[in-house]
């Protein structure tokens, strides 16, 4: 799905398939729990939350809806390198009635460009990414984690796939049950093959300077990495 020149209609269909898969996996709920916990400890102001490599914006939009239902005050933004994804994410947010801002940015760029349409100059309390780390090799994954820690004032969250035979089987069957997009059918199993095992994620977090990061398994064959700034 990261292939340059992918037809915009096929890109949107692939993102719609991923939306259904993510809804079944409840990855947004696993990300929301630590954000809610942090917000309840700091009720005096809204938390600024950034979703890196946001794709169609589903995670950020889900978090906004859960925050609304829970009475949690969040300022949510998302960024993606692909301008087509940013357009789709902005349209999805408008259709679902949530004020999430999306902008174009490379998650691995340092520093980010400033000015209108760029990152919030005040920075972010929480920086997260979902289903992005597995697209990177080990060195770039460490670089991303280090950049996330630098950009997050309080909390870093990563939700991603675990490389395992069960994960591959779930990806192969789940993508075919929940999406008609051939891009998703190919990308899902390939993503599991490119994913990291838990020991590898823990080692990369250490290399990136995320001392004391917590790592736990989530359904379905995913993990949640959580790192709080001291």
What is the rounded CA–CA span in Å between residue 213 and residue 217? 14
Q: So what's the pLDDT on residue 230?
A: 81
> Greater confidence, 48 or 218?
48
**What is the full DSSP assignment across 117-162?**
TS--TT-EEEEEEES-GGGS-HHHHHHHHHHHHHHEEEEEEEEEEB
For residue 20, pLDDT beyond 90? no
Integer-rounded Cα Rg, in Å, for the chain is 16
- The superfamily CATH assigns to domain 8-228 is Vaccinia Virus protein VP39 (3.40.50.150)
Q: Which residue has the tokens 């929940």?
A: 178
For residue 179, pLDDT beyond 90? no
CB atoms within 10 A of CB 81: 15
Q: Say how far residue 164 (Cα) sits from the centre of its chain.
A: 21
* C-alpha dist (Å) from residue 52 to 64, 86, 176, 180, 196: 15, 11, 26, 26, 19
Cis geometry, peptide bond prior to residue 111 (ω within 30 degrees of 0): yes
Average pLDDT rounded to a whole number, residues 50-63 = 95
> Greater confidence, 5 or 122?
122
CB atoms within 10 A of CB 68: 14
For residue 70, pLDDT beyond 60? yes
pTM: 0.86
Domain-wise residue ranges, the chain: 8-228
Q: So what's the pLDDT on residue 117?
A: 85
Give the torsion sign (CA, 191, 50, 221, 69). Answer: negative
Give the torsion sign (CA, 63, 65, 71, 75). Answer: positive
Contacts of 186 (CB under 8 A, 6+ apart): none
Structural contact between residues 146 and 214, judged by C-beta atoms closer than 8 angstroms: no
Contacts of 10 (CB under 8 A, 6+ apart): 181, 183
Strand, helix or coil for residue 59: helix
Phi-psi region of 106 (alpha: psi -120 to 50; beta: other; left: phi over 0): beta
Over the stretch 114-154, which tens digit does the pLDDT of each residue have?
877 888 989 999 999 999 999 999 999 999 999 999 999 99
For residue 87, pLDDT beyond 60? yes
Contacts of 44 (CB under 8 A, 6+ apart): none
Strand (E) or helix (H) holding 184: helix 182-194
Average pLDDT rounded to a whole number, residues 190-208 = 92
């Amino acid at each position: 799905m990261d292939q340059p020149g992918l037809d915009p209609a096929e890109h949107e269909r692939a993102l719609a398939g991923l939306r259904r898969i993510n809804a079944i996996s409840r990855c947004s709920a696993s990300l929301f729990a630590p954000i809610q916990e942090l917000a309840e400890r700091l009720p005096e102001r809204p938390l600024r939350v950034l979703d890196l490599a946001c794709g169609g914006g589903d995670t950020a939009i889900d978090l906004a809806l859960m925050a609304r239902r829970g009475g949690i005050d969040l300022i949510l933004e998302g960024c993606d390198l692909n301008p087509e994804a940013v357009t789709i994410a902005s349209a999805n947010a408008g259709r679902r009635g949530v004020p999430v801002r999306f902008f174009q940015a490379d998650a691995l760029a340092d520093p980010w460009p400033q000015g209108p349409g760029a990152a919030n100059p005040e920075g972010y309390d929480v920086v997260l990414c979902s289903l992005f780390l597995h697209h990177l090799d080990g060195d770039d994954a460490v670089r991303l984690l280090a950049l996330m820690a630098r950009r997050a004032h309080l909390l870093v969250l990563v939700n991603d796939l675990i490389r395992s035979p069960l994960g591959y089987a779930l990806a192969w069957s789940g993508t075919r049950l929940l999406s008609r997009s051939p891009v998703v059918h190919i990308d899902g199993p390939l993503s599991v093959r490119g994913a990291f095992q838990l020991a590898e994620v823990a080692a990369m977090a250490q290399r990136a300077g995320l001392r004391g990061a917590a790592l736990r398994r989530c359904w379905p064959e995913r993990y949640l990495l959580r790192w709080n700034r001291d």
